[in-house]
Chain A
Amino acid sequence: MTKLKPWISLSGIGVFAVLLLVIAPLVLSDHWLNNVGKYCCWAIAAVGIGFAWGRGGMLVMGQGVFFALGAYSMAMHLTLETAGDQVPGFMVLYDPLAPLPAFWEPFRSTGFTLLAIVLLPVVVAGILGYALFKRRVKGAYFAILTQALAVALATLISSTIRETGGDTGLSDFKYFFGFVLNDPANKVMVYSIAAALLIVCLLAVWQFYRSRFGELLVATRDAEERVRFLGYDPANVKLVAFVVSALMASIGGAMFVPIVGIITPAEIGAAASILMIAGVALGGRASLFGPALGAMAVGWGQSSLGSTWPDGWTYVLGLLFIVVILFLPQGLSSLPARFAALRRRPTVQPTPAIAAAQLEEVRS
C-alpha cells in the first residue's frame, strides 16, 4: 500500500471527526447514535490492534482481557454509584447477608476508577509483555497465549457470580459520574466522549506511525533479527506497542459500559476477541483508518444484518473474512492503492510497503 502524505491522513482524521462529532448527532436517531457509539468503542480497541498487529506483527488475540479491565472498572463504579451506600442488588440476591467484596470498595472513588481504567491495562500488559517478549515468545505461541488469557478471564468472571455478576453481567446503571444516564442529552454526551476518544486514538497512532518509533516498529515486524543487530532491543519496541494497544482496548471497554448499559463475559471472551480481530483484518490491519472502519462495519453488520437475517449473518462475515484474507490480505482499505498500482504497473516497481507486506505473507 502506498504511504499517504501526512496531511492527507490528518485531514482524513479531521473529516472523520466532523462526521462522528457533528454530523452523526444531527442526523441519527438516538437509537442509531447509541449504536454508532458502541461501534466507536470497538473501533478504539481495533485501532490498538491495528497498531500492535498491523504495524508490530503481534497477533493480539486476547484484547478482550484489556477490554474487560476497562469495562469492569467502569461497570463496578457505575454499579456502586447506582447502589449508593447499599450493597449492589445483584449481590443481595445470591447471598443476602454477605458484605461488599473488598476489591469493589476503591471503585467508589471517581479518581481511582479513571486511574484503574488507564493503569490496570498498562501494568498487566507491561508485566505480561515483558515476560513474553524478553523470552522471545512470538508468532502462533503469542497469539494462542493471549487468546487463552481471554478465555480464562471470561471463565473466571462467569464462575464468580456474586463478586462480578457472572454470566448475567453488570447492568442497570442509573448514573454516569453524576449525570443521569436516561437523559437523552447525557446519552449524546457519552456518545461524544467515545467518538472523541476514537479520534484521539487515531491521532495518537498517526503520530506514532510518523515517528522514529513507528519506523522501528515496522522494522521489528519485518526483520526482528536485523533490528537486534542494529543495537535496538526488539522486546522493548514490541512492549511499548503491546501496552499502547492494551490501553486503547481498556478505554474502549470503559466507554462500552455507559453506552450499551451492560457488560457480560460474552463481550470479552474468545469469540468477542476474535470478532475484534476480524474487523481489523477486514478493514486493513496496517493502515491508519482500516482497523477503525473495519470494526465499525462489523458492528453495523451485527446490528442490521443480524436483525434481518439472524441465521445467515455470521456466514456472511465468515465468507467476507475468507475472501479478504485470500485476495486482499491488506484489507479493504488497500483497494484504492491496488487499483492505482494496477494502472501504473508497466512503469512503476512495487512500493517498499507492498514488498514488505508480501514478504510478511510469505513468512506467515
Chain B
Amino acid sequence: MSTTPSKRRRALAAVGAIGTTMALLLAGCGARASDDTAQAGSSAAASCVDTSGSTIKLGFLNSLTGGMAISEKTVSNVLHMAADEINASGGILGKKIQYVQEDGATDWPTFAEKTDKLLTQDCVAAIFGGWTSSSRKAVKPVVEKRNGLFFYPVQYEGLESSPNIYYTGATTNQQIIPAMDFLAAKGVKTLFLAGSDYVFPRTANAIIKLYAAKLGIKIVGEEYVPLDKDDWTSQVAKIAAAKPDFIFNTINGSSNVGFIKAYYDAGLTPAKTPIISVSIAEEEAPAMGHAVTGNYASWNYFQSLKTDTNPKFIQSWKAYPNSSGVTSDPMEAAYISLYLYKELVEAAGSFDVNAVNAAAKSKTITFDAPEGKVTLDGKNHHISKPGHIGQINANNQFDIVWASDKFIEPDPYLEGYDWFPAAIRKQLVGAAG
C-alpha cells in the first residue's frame, strides 16, 4: 500500500491542528515565574475538609507493601491504636476520627500521588506517616501546594522545615550529636561510617564528619550500600582492615541483617569494634539473625525507659491486635504525632491548617508521651526530646547507659553549633522558603 499525496496532506493537516491547539493552550495559561503575586495566590486553594459532621477524616500513609512494609506496618498499626484510644475518650474537638489508610508501596512517586489523593479526593484534615526521608521529600511539595498537614514520625537528618509538616521524630541534634558526644566521652579516636545509600545516611554522615573534626575523632572510612541490597561483605572487609574504635551505623531496614552477618563473618565483635546504630531498635534487634548483644543504639525512646506513661503504653500495645509485642522509638513518635495533632486542634479550636499553625506559634503545646513530657516548638514544628544511648542486652532490650540531663530542644538547622558552616545553613533555609 503506497501513500498518496492527498492522504499525506490530511495527516499533515491533523498534525497542524494539534500544533495550533497546543499553541492556544500555552497562550491561555496561568502564572509565570515573574509574577510576584502568583505564588501566594495559587497556594491558597480552598480546603474541602468537612467539619460539619460528628466525625473528622484523617489520612494514614504508610508503605504496606514493598521493602519498607516491615517497619511501616507497625507505624500504621500504632496510629490505628492511637485513633482508637482518642475515639474512646471523646475524639478530637468532640469529633470521632475516621481514618483513611493508604499504601505508599515503598515508592516515592506513589507517596506524592497518595498525598494528593488524600487531600483532594478524601478531603482529610491531616496526614500521618512516612518513614524514609525520601518519602517525606516526595510528600513535602504536595502538602505545601495543597496547604495540607503532614505528621512525620521518624528520626531524620534535619536541615529541613516546612509550614505544612510537623516532625515528631528526632532531628540531628537530638540523636546524632548526642551519639557523637557519647563516643567522644568514651575516648573514641577513630570512627567508620556505614550507611544505606539515600538522603538520611548521606546527610547524617556529612554532619558527623563536620562534628568529628571539631571533636578530634578521625573518620577512617565511609561506605554505602543501596537500601534494597543486603551484601555488605566487601564493605565490611574494609572496616576490618581499617580497625576503627567504633562503627557508626546509619543503615536502614533489612539491609542491616546482611551488615551484621558480614560483621560477624569478618571476625568483628562488639567487645573490640562496637557498633552504634541510629536505626536498630527493639523491633529490629531480634531479627538480625545473630545476637547483637553489646552493641549500642542512640534513640529518644526505649521500651526500658522508666517514665509514668510508658508502662501503660507498653501494655496497650501488647494487647493491641496484630501488634509486634515490643515498643520502639519510631512507633512511639507516631503515637505522639496523633496526640500532638489532637492537642494542636483543641488549642486552635479548629481543624483549619492556618489556625493550627497559628496555635502552634502562640500557645504552648505539650503531650505526656511515653518518653516524657514533650513540648512543641511552634517555629520549627519539631518537639523537645530526651537523648538516650542504650546497649543491647541478652533479651534484645536496651540497657540505658547514657541520658541527656534535660530534654533537648530541637535545632533542625544546627543554629546553636558553630562548626556547621553558616553559608550552607543560609542556603538551605533560603531553599526551604
Contact = CB atoms under 8 A, between A and B. Distances in A.
Contact of A179 (B29, B105, B157, B197): B29
B256 to A, nearest CB: 17
B65 interface: yes
A173 B168 CA distance: 26
B234 interface: no
A192 B138 CA distance: 24
B422 to A, nearest CB: 11
A14 to B, nearest CB: 8
B53 to A, nearest CB: 21
A96 interface: yes
A159 B14 CA distance: 45
A186 interface: yes
B103 A172 contact: no
Interface stretch (A132-140, A279-287, A305-313): A305-313
Contact of A161 (B39, B107, B197, B427): B197
Contact of A192 (B14, B22, B43, B145): B22
Contact of B30 (A6, A10, A179, A200): A179
B184 interface: no
A96 B421 contact: yes
SS class, residues of chain B in contact with chain A: helix
B52 interface: no
Q: How large is the interface on B (under 10, 10 to 19, 20 to 34, 35 or more residues)?
A: 35 or more
A303 interface: yes
A310 B65 contact: yes
A211 B3 contact: yes
A364 B424 CA distance: 58
A174, A184, A212, A306 — which one has the most chain B CB atoms within 10 A of its CB?
A306
A349 interface: no
Interface in A1-56: 6, 10, 13-14, 17, 21, 29-31, 34-35, 38
Contacts of A29: 120-121
A45 to B, nearest CB: 15
20 contacts: A29-B121, A31-B116, A83-B431, A89-B427, A92-B428, A96-B424, A166-B197, A167-B227, A178-B34, A180-B32, A180-B33, A180-B39, A180-B42, A183-B38, A196-B22, A206-B11, A260-B112, A262-B112, A264-B109, A303-B113
Interface of A: 6, 10, 13-14, 17, 21, 29-31, 34-35, 38, 81, 83, 86-87, 89-90, 92-97, 155, 158-159, 161-162, 166-169, 171-175, 178-180, 182-186, 188-189, 192-193, 196, 199-200, 203, 206-207, 210-212, 215, 260-264, 266-267, 303, 306-307, 310-311, 314
Given A31-B121, A38-B113, A262-B138, 15 more contacts: A14-B14, A81-B33, A93-B202, A93-B206, A96-B210, A159-B197, A159-B226, A167-B197, A179-B29, A183-B38, A186-B29, A192-B25, A260-B109, A263-B109, A303-B113
